[in-house]
Each structure stands twice: as structure tokens, then as C-alpha cells.
Structure 1
Amino acid sequence: MNIRTFVKYLGLLTTLSLLAACGGGGNGSESVTEVPEPADNVPRFAYVTGSDTLSIYTVNPATGQLRHNGYIVAAGTSPASVTVDPSGRFAYVANQSSDDISAYTINASTGALTSIGAPVAAGTTPYSVTVDPSGKFAYVANWSSNNVSAYAIDAATGALTSVGPPVTAGVGPQSVTVDPSGRFAYVANSGSGYVSAYRIDASSGVLTIIGNSYAGSTLRSVTVDPSGRFAYVANGGSGDVSAFNINATTGALTSLGAAVAAGSNPQSITIDPSGKFAYVANSGSDDVSAYAIDTTTGALTAVGAAVAAGLEPQSVTVDPSGKFVYVTGLSYIATYAINTVTGALTALPTVAGRGASVAMAMTRGTTAVTYTPRFAYTAQYGPDIVSAYTIDAASGALTALPNTSTLSLGTSVTVDPSGRFAYTTHEVLFETPTVNVSTYTIDSTSGVLTRVGAAAAVASFPASIAVEPSGRFAYVANSASGSVSIHAIDAATGALTYEGFLAAESGPVSIAVDPSGRFAYVANNGSASISGYLLNASSGALTTIDLNGAIAGAATGAGADPTSVTVDPSGKFVYVTQINGVNAYVIDTATGALINASFAVAGGNPRSVVVEPSGRFAYVANGDSANVSVFSINATTGFLTNIATVAAGGQPRSIAVDASGKFAYVANAESGTVSVYTIDAASGALSSVGTIAAGTFPVSIATTGSIQ
């Protein structure tokens, strides 16, 4: 499998502020106080290759949590390696099957990726890509053509231009890295068992061979410590790590002695920013080895036993702050906290990935990513309007905006991931497709909705709509016709184009897409079941998942009268409200199948369930008991524990939590209001902020926010 090298020295440019003040005593002297520059080691966005896509995550610098932030379909085929330039403005991906390199600009505020033209040709089977510390050159190890490609980076656009013909390497070059000085490059050759060292021409980026140094068997990954004095190689075949001293003048490598044992088939190695610790992902033994580095000699000493990871870990990365380790593997990303004294790792909750998550790169800056709530919208089953509100980012309070005319009998409302478009479904009972899904643009300043053209044609009685994380496709659960319809979204206008449908079970009333964008789940009220679907990232097409392990396409039981379904922010758990409580399921992140169902009692007639962004608490709106149940979530099993109940309005039908995770909103159908709550970040407790009028019979609520 592929390995990736972690590119150090990522970050956004920072400025140095000086504060000048006049001296006393009238002597005209001036004293200058230097204000420390902000640290530029705060992790912001992470990018992970897998399943012909590039997934985007925000990084919480306090907890290490990775939060799904959409994905893009890769410009090439089989993306194997990703790196980010030191400025954090550009990302580069090596596509091993299409033999090319994709380049992207990075939106500094949102982390969104935009392709920079067509992919640039590389050698055959490019496995690894890196950028030098100056940000002027990129290098690619080409496994099948046994060479290294070099490129100049356009500082303004990020575009790549080939720097001469590829330079010969050993057999099967699988990893490339550049030392912190930017003067030397090193390539681990898996087939020939040695590391090739190259001198970098500072002006042109051209590589000149220095020499080869033998390591272990089947070299998988090479990295250089932050001081630039030592290089380390993960040897997959011999199950160990080789260490080398780097000649500061020539760049030549000298072995530091016998290799140090690792786990089985080590795939990737990285060094933390302090240069004190090294970490190795072992694909064969499904674990991570940790080592302390003697900063004088470069020698490695194992830090306790290897720590368990998921199946076949492929790469290991340390965040820019040096507080967390991330390991990618088969459909997951594992997170660990680093003991800054010993280097020991403590496992934290994992998140789902998109298929085989192969490689990761991370940007850094001076501030953490923040989520700010902006607007809220309610669908009403009575009049033909959608109610809109602004959200006070400090208190969570709502202020009403002008209503927007639409179709009557609204059943659900949702907002696309970009916050530019909103959609409502409407109860229209016909057996043939009719116009019953409305599209709106959202004014980014005011939050006011504007309808986009005619409503879209769907099937009979659309009850729920969901937009997948890339924002390219929408899915509608059609209750009366027992189907899920598929719609392509126009990126400019938000308009929907009907792409067909797939059968569900009886009475589908709610649909949710997991945050990785791979799976969709539907709650079927009529058949008391859950249907699952695999999403095609390119076409948006759905394929039914075998949820019960017996007959392909069969649904799994959901208890009596299921009313809503949601997926937690990690992409590991599904929650379904039913007649007296909530069912919890674990998602098999490889297949999408649901396993290990558990049940938690809620209030009377639970109607809606939501999980707040940290993934630690869930909230259920109970229609008949007019309240909200608060649950804590077991991060390993997904099981729910009821910890509180708070009053809501009459017949609460829908609950939403804003993007910041600070506020919760409940649409109360009978009382025609929205209840507003603050969320205690530590306990998950809800505190009422008050209510606001929401028209006649509001049955669904959605919020949107911004990322900075």
C-alpha cells in the first residue's frame, strides 16, 4: 500500500508587530517594546486522499478533533499522496493511476479546494509528492518509472512547471522528502533497499545525485527531523526503522547503526515539530510505534509498546502544534494525544474516512478555525411561506427576517454545506412526479431567501431532503411512493435536476447522509425499518446496502414508527427516533452496514434527533411530551445515556444545532414557535434563551453558519 511523508513547515505567513512609545524625562529617547508574533503552528485544515476523492477536515487545536468539511472528486485517478505548500495556499496530489499531479488553491477561510487547471504529467505511478520549504519547488517519486520528477511552483497561481527531465532513482521509489534547509532531497527506494540523496539547485530546483545509502528491506517512507541533522526510514519488509546522520555540507547520509524494531510492515514515519519524537504506522500489525529521539545522536528509543490503530494504517502525521498524531487507514482516521514529556500516545475518538484513507496533509496558521452561526429557517405545514431568522452569534437569539413565499404544506427544510442554497419539500400526493421541492438562494449578508425558478419535480409526498457534503447532489425521501429521488445541484444557481430514483421500503420519512459523503440512510415509517445506500461520488447514483447481512438490499429493523434518522459528526454512528426512544447503530465504515443496535428511552413520541458538532451529546425532540431529551454519547460504542430533559413548546417536531455547537433550536408545531437554547460545552446541558414566533405549524428547522 502507499505511504506518505508528512510535510513540515506548513503554515500561513505571520506578521511581526512593534509597539513604539516615547521615553520619559523629555530627553527625546524612544523605547520600543516588541510584541511577540502570533504562533503560526495552529492546525487549521486537514486533507486526506482516498477513493478517488480528497476529503477536507477542520482541526480543533484544543481537542484534536477532525470535523468533516466536505470533499472533492480528485482531478486524477487513485490519489495516493497529498502535500501542502509552506504558505498554506496550495495543495498538490500525486495520482498513481493517471500518472499525474493535481494542483489546487486553498481557501484560507474555509479550507475549500479549487483545481488549478488540468493535472500535470508525472512519471509512471507517482506515489509521493512533497514541496520544499521555500515553496518554490515540488518533487514526485515515481514508483514504476524509477525516477523523481521536479517542478517549479508559480508563486502567484500555484501552477506547476516541469523542471527538466526526471532524475533517476533506485527501484520503486516510494517516498520523497526535502530537508528543512531546502538544499537536499531524499528518496526511499522500496525495491533497491537504499535511500537516494540529491542536491537541490536553489535557483532552478534541479536535482543532482549525491549518493545512495542502504537501509533495511522494502523501504516505504523517509523523513528528516526539524534540525536537518538526521534522516529516518521505515522499512516495510524488515519491520524496522533505519536512522542516518546528515552531513550538513554535502547532504550525504551516514548510518547511525543497527535499525530499531518497529511493528509489522511499517508504512510511514514522521517526526514531531520539536524533533524529540518519531512515530511509525505499521500496516501489518495494525498499530503505531512511538520513539524518543536523542537530539544529540539521533538514536531512537522505543516509547513503550505500540498503540493499537485500525485496520492497515497507511500514514502517520503530527499536527503543527505537536500535540496530536493522526493515522489514516481503511475507512478511518485515528487520533492520538501526545504526551509532550515522554512522547507516549493516548487514543482519542476516531472519524470515518472515504474508503482507504491513504495520506494526509495539514495547513497551519495563527488562529483556530471558528464556526459562526448566521441564519435559521423553518418549513411550515400550514401557510405557503418559509420563515427566516438571523442568529445572534453571542446569545443564539433569533431575529425574524421577511418570510419567503413558497408552496404550501411544507414538510422539511435543509441548507446546502456552502450555506448558499436552501431547499424545502412539500406534501403533494400524486403518483406521478410533480413540482414539490423548492429551491432558494440565501443572501450571504442578510440571510433572506429568494426562490430559484419553478419547484423541482419529485415523486409522491416528499417528506425529507438531504444534501451530501460536497454540495453536488440532493436526495429526497418520498413517503407515499416509497422511494428516494436523486437530484444534481447546479453549482451556480442551486437548481435541482432530477436524475432518477431508487426504491426504499414502505413510508420513507427521513433521510440523512453521513459526513464523509459515502452513505445515506432512510427511516421507513411504514415498514419500521432503515434503508442504506452507497453514494457514487462522481454521478451521485445510489446503490442499496445490505444492512441486515442476509439478502442484498434488505433493510434493518428500526423499532415501531421510526420518524427521523441522523448520522453523528464522526460518521461512525446512526441514530433513529422511534415510538418511545432512540435506536443507536454503529456504522461499518468499510461497507456502510449498521451493527450493534442499542436503545435509549426518550420522551413521548420522539420526532427528531440531532448530534452536536463535538459528537459528545445528542438531543431528541419529543412531540407528545413537549420536551427535549439530552443524551451523552459513548465515543466507542455510540450508546446513549439520558442525562436530562428540558421543556419545549407544544408538539416539537424538529431540532437543529448550529455549526458552532453553542445553540440548539426546536420547531414547535402546535405552539407555532421556535425554542432557543444555549448548550453547555462541558455537560451538554440546555438552557432556555426563549422562544420566537414561527408562523403556523412549523415542522422542520435548519441553520447555517460561516467558517473562518
Structure 2
Amino acid sequence: MTAAERTVHFYVGTYASETEDSLFHCVLNAENGEMRLVSGLSGIENPSYLKTQAGRGTLYAASEKEDGEIFAYTIDPEAKELHLHDRKSSEGSSPCFVETTPDGNTLLAANYGGCVTAFSIRDRGVLRLESRVRHTGSGPNPQRQEGPHPHSFVPSPDGVFLFAPDLGTDRIAKYTREDELLFRQDDTVLPPGTGPRTLVFHPGGRWAYVSGELDNTVTAFHYEAQIGRLTPIQRAELLPEDRAADPANTAAHAAVSPCGRYVYVSNRGDDSIAQFAVDPEDGRLTFVERVPSEGRVPRHFAMTEGFLLAANQESGSIVSFSVNPEDGRLTPTGFALELNRPVCVCPLTE
């Protein structure tokens, strides 16, 4: 790649030990989808979810291990390299998701081991624990729902309400913040065995979508911002009817395209990315197509500059797809980046 080419810096988290490189800095050629590795960092175990904080030059990483931690890195403004600045206990086991609130003052973390936490963001990205709430309950799947398993923790578009899909209890827990403390409100209850995983809001703010890891669905919600209410309006199947309940497949990441016209969900087992069109009137979904992820177990993907980058965990590759601006369909670019067990892709947002 030359200096004249349009490039995007992005970071990749992998399942790897603390003694080996596990967090990687990469670059995407935004003209053709080619990717290259810039550098790797060790010192963090299983950085399974990453979040860059726009405008503050910080990257947060969840270290998914029994005694979970959250790492804060400063991003060099020129080279975009990462420098460890802070690390704190996640106050729970197996943290698998981090997100910042719209005001930039709070970092939210979901600990798969059963609790959610909120940290205030101090000067230069330093974290201070403010609140921790333990979930309770279980679901009908004895292997996966023996107890609570928060899998993401996201703010509403205005930051007034916070939502934590809990895979283990088939609920989306709603929170508010007062004096930097979390207060649990009413839950959105989903059908038994759904296993809600990743919740994402539509950029228009009227709808939201959650992937159902255990029943291979995506649920669409109408969102009432004034009271923070999620009302289910549709459950769409991710797989063909004859394989809809295939236990060999588990749904993973969900995302809405920046334009708001499409929803994408990755399938592990089927090893595909399902695309849906969003009805601009009511937010309901219409299936468009399923595209092979060009690898095994696409745990996560990210969209940036007209491309979708899919992290295929078990085949060890990041694969780039061009996104058709007319219909949102995905086409492999032919480029892939080999990394051991990649599980999160995080483009740098300026």
C-alpha cells in the first residue's frame, strides 16, 4: 500500500495467552479490501472484544479469562500503535463485551460469568469501577443456560438507558444510571431458549435488533426512547426452514449497516453471514441472502468504508467483503489476513 491509498487502521483481538501476541494492529486498503498486519502485542490474555473511543485516542479490551480484566490502551496519533495505559479487574469472570456511553464518560462491561459492570472514564482513559450488578436466573438449555450469562451491554442512542442481553436467562435487562451507579429496571423477556447475545440499535433510533445465539434467530424491536421500552415486533430465522433449529449452528454478531438499510448476523456452524433488508416504515426484516464467511466460525465482523471484515475464529483468518452500495450484498474481495483464532475486529474511529 502506498501513502496515496485510502487506508483504515483496525485492531484484531484473538484467543491467545498472555505470553504470545494476542492483540494486533492492521491496515485495510479501502480501495480494494487488501489487508496487512502492522504489529502485534502480548501481555493480554484472550482480548475477545475491543472498543475504540472516538476522539479520545483510546482502545479498551476485554480480557476474557476467569479473573477478568479490562485493559486501556492509548493510540499513538501518528503511527496508530497501542500503548498500555491502564488495566483493571472487570469485577467478574469471562468479560466478553465492552462499550462506551455516548457522553464518553462511562465504560460498560458484560461479564459472561454473570454480572455487568460500569466504570467511569477518567483523564486519559483511566478507569474507575463505579457499579456492579449480579444477574440471576436460568433458562431451559441445561448446557448453556444453567445460570446468567450477560453477553453484551449497550447504551440507548441517547445514553439514558442501558441494555444487557443475558444469554442464560432469555432476558434483556434494562438499567439506568444515577450518580454513576447502575439501577436495574424492567426486563424484556424473550421466548425460552433464545439465548440473546448481541443487541444493536438502528441509527434512526426507533428500532433495535438482537441475535439469538441458541435458536438461530434475529429479533426486531420497536424502541420507545422516552421510556426505554423494547417491544418485540418480529423474529426472523437465520437458516433455511429445514435447518432452522440446527443445534450445530450458533448465531453470533449482529450489526446494522451505517446507512440503516440492512442488518447482518454471523452464523457459526453454517459459517455464513445472513443479510436482511430493513423496512424503512416499521423496521421489520426481509431476508436477502446468506453468504459464506470464507472460513470457519465467524464469531465477529465489522463494517467500515464500504467493506465488511469477518473474523473466522477456527480457520484463523480475517476475510474482507465489499458491500454493494445499491443493495448491501456482500462479495468476497479475494483478500484474507491470517491470524491465529481472531474473534473481534475493531476499526479505528477518529
**Cα distance in 1, alignment partners of residues 171 and 206 from structure 2:** 16
Change (3 A) 1:490 1:568: same
- Say if 2:110 and 2:153, in contact at 8 Å, map to a contact too: yes
Change beyond 3 A, Cα 1:610–1:419: farther
The CA deviation at 1:583 is: 2.3
- 1:452 aligned onto 2:38: yes
> Residues of 1 paired with 2:56 and 2:305: CA distance?
15
Task: Work out the CA distance in 2 between the residues paired with 1:563 and 1:689.
Answer: 27
SS at structure 1 position matched to 2:153? strand
Measure how far apart 1:472 and its partner are: 0.6
Shift of 1:477: 0.8
Q: Deviations over 1:214-272 (max 9, x none)?
A: xxxxxxxxxxxxxxxxxxxxxxxxxxxxxxxxxxxxxxxxxxxxxxxxxxxxxxxxxxx
Does residue 621 in structure 1 map to residue 207 in structure 2? Answer: no
Kindly tell me: are residues 501 and 581 of structure 1, through their superposed partners in 2, closer, same or farther at Cα, counting changes over 3 Å? same
Residue 55 of structure 2 corresponds to: 470
Which whole-Å CA distance do the structure 1 matches of 2:257 and 2:181 have between them?
Answer: 26
Q: CA separation in 2, counterparts of 1:597 and 1:688?
A: 31
Q: C-alpha separation between the residues in 2 aligned to 1:612 and 1:437?
A: 29
CA distance in structure 1 between the aligned counterparts of 2:43 and 2:277, rounded to whole angstroms: 37
C-alpha offsets along residues 575-632 of structure 1, whole Å, 9 cap, x if unaligned? Answer: 2121243324243376363442423215622222111112221111112211111111
- Residue 96 of structure 2 corresponds to residue 509 of structure 1: yes
The within-5 A match list for 1:141-152 is none
Given candidates 135, 139, 150, the residue that maps to 1:558 is: 135
Contact 1:620 1:629 (C-alpha < 8 Å) held by counterparts: yes
Alpha-carbon distance in 2 for matches of 1:516, 1:567:
10
Report what 1:598 is aligned to: 187
Compute the displacement of 1:672 (Å). 0.6
CA contact (8 A) 1:584 1:639 kept: no
Unaligned runs of 5+ in 2: 1-5, 137-147, 240-248, 307-348
The one-letter code sitting in structure 1 at the alignment partner of 2:125 is G
Is contact 1:523-1:565 (8 Å) kept?
Answer: yes
Aligned partners of 2:298 and 2:77: how far apart in 1?
29
1:434 CA drift (Å): 3.8
SS at match of 1:539: helix
Secondary structure of the 1:435 match is coil
**Correspondence 1:703 to 2:303:** yes
Aligned to 1:588: 177
Determine if the alignment matches structure 1 residue 482 to structure 2 residue 81.
Answer: no
Which one scores higher on RCO, CA 8 angstroms, separation ≥ 6? 2
Measure, in 2, the Cα distance between the counterparts of 1:523 and 1:599. 17
Q: Answer whether contact 1:610 1:620 (CA < 8 A) is retained.
A: yes
Which one-letter code corresponds to 1:577 in the other structure? P
The aligned counterpart of 1:574 is: 162
- 1:318-337 alignment, distance < 5 Å: none
CA distance in 2, matches of 1:474, 1:524: 18
Specify which of 120, 124, 136 is matched with residue 539 of structure 1.
124
Write out per-residue CA displacement over residues 41-83 of structure 1, whole angstroms, 9 at most, x where no aligned residue.
Answer: xxxxxxxxxxxxxxxxxxxxxxxxxxxxxxxxxxxxxxxxxxx
1: distance between equivalents of 2:280 and 2:176?
26
1:153-180, CA deviations, whole angstroms, 9 ceiling, x for partnerless residues?
xxxxxxxxxxxxxxxxxxxxxxxxxxxx
Q: Is structure 2 residue 200 aligned with structure 1 residue 610?
A: yes
1:443 to 2, 23, 29: 29
User: For residues 291-690 of structure 1, what are the structure 2 equivalents within 5 Å?
Assistant: 420-428=8-16, 430=17, 432=18, 434-453=20-39, 455-470=40-55, 472-480=57-65, 481-504=67-90, 505-526=92-113, 528-536=114-122, 538-545=123-130, 547=131, 555-559=132-136, 560-578=148-166, 579-588=168-177, 591=180, 593-602=182-191, 604-649=194-239, 650-690=249-289
Once the two structures are aligned, what percentage of the paired residues are identical? 20
Q: Give the Å deviation of 1:571.
A: 1.7
Amino acid across the alignment from 1:572: V
Letter of the structure 1 residue corresponding to residue 171 of structure 2: V
Q: CA deviation at 1:533?
A: 0.7
- Report the Cα distance in structure 2 between the residues aligned to 1:699 and 1:462, rounded to whole angstroms: 13
Amino acid in structure 1 at the alignment position of 2:128: T
Using the alignment, how far apart are the partners of 1:633 and 1:669 within structure 2? Answer: 28
Tell me the equivalent position of 1:138. none
Name the SS for the 2:83 alignment partner: strand
Q: Residues 553-575 of structure 1, C-alpha deviation per residue, up to 9 Å, x if partnerless?
A: xx113341112222222222222
| Structure 1: unaligned runs, 5 residues or longer | 1-417, 548-554
Q: Does the 8 Å CA contact 1:659/1:705 hold for their aligned counterparts? A: no
CA drift of 1:471 comes to 5.2
Q: Can you list the C-alpha shifts for 1:267-325, whole angstroms capped at 9, x where unaligned? A: xxxxxxxxxxxxxxxxxxxxxxxxxxxxxxxxxxxxxxxxxxxxxxxxxxxxxxxxxxx
Structure 1 position 693, deviation (Å): 1.0
Q: Structure 1 residues 492 and 445 mapped into 2: Cα distance closer, same or farther (>3 Å)?
A: farther
1:443-474 alpha-carbon deviations (Å, 9 max, x no partner): 23234322222x12242222211111225101
Counterpart of 2:341 in structure 1 is none
CA distance in 2, matches of 1:439, 1:597: 40
Query: Is the 8 Å Cα contact of residues 165 and 173 (structure 2) preserved in structure 1?
Result: no
Structure 2 CA distance for aligned equivalents of residues 587 and 493 of structure 1: 38
Shift of 1:513: 1.2
Q: Which amino acid in the other structure matches residue 160 of structure 2?
A: K
Distance 1:698 1:516, change over 3 A: same
Which position in structure 2 is the counterpart of 1:343?
A: none
SS of match in other structure, 1:571: coil
Supply the distance in 2 between the matched residues of 1:542 and 1:589 (Cα, whole angstroms): 18
3-state SS of the aligned residue for 2:79?
Answer: coil
1:636-677 per-residue CA deviation (whole Å, 9 max, x = no partner) reads: 221211110001143111101121211111111110100011
Counterpart residue number, 1:113: none
TM-score, length-scaled by structure 2: 0.73
Larger Rg belongs to: 1
Deviation at 1:503, TM superposition (A): 0.6
1:441–1:516: structure 2 CA closer, same or farther, 3 Å change rule? farther
Mark the CA change 1:424 to 1:594 in structure 2 (over 3 Å): closer, same or farther.
farther
- Give, in whole Å, the separation in 1 of the partners of 2:219 and 2:59: 29
Instruction: Report the Cα offset of residue 509 of structure 1.
Output: 1.3
Relative to 1, partners in 2 of residues 1:702 and 1:592: Cα closer, same or farther, differing over 3 Å? farther
Using the size of structure 1 for normalisation, the TM-score is 0.37
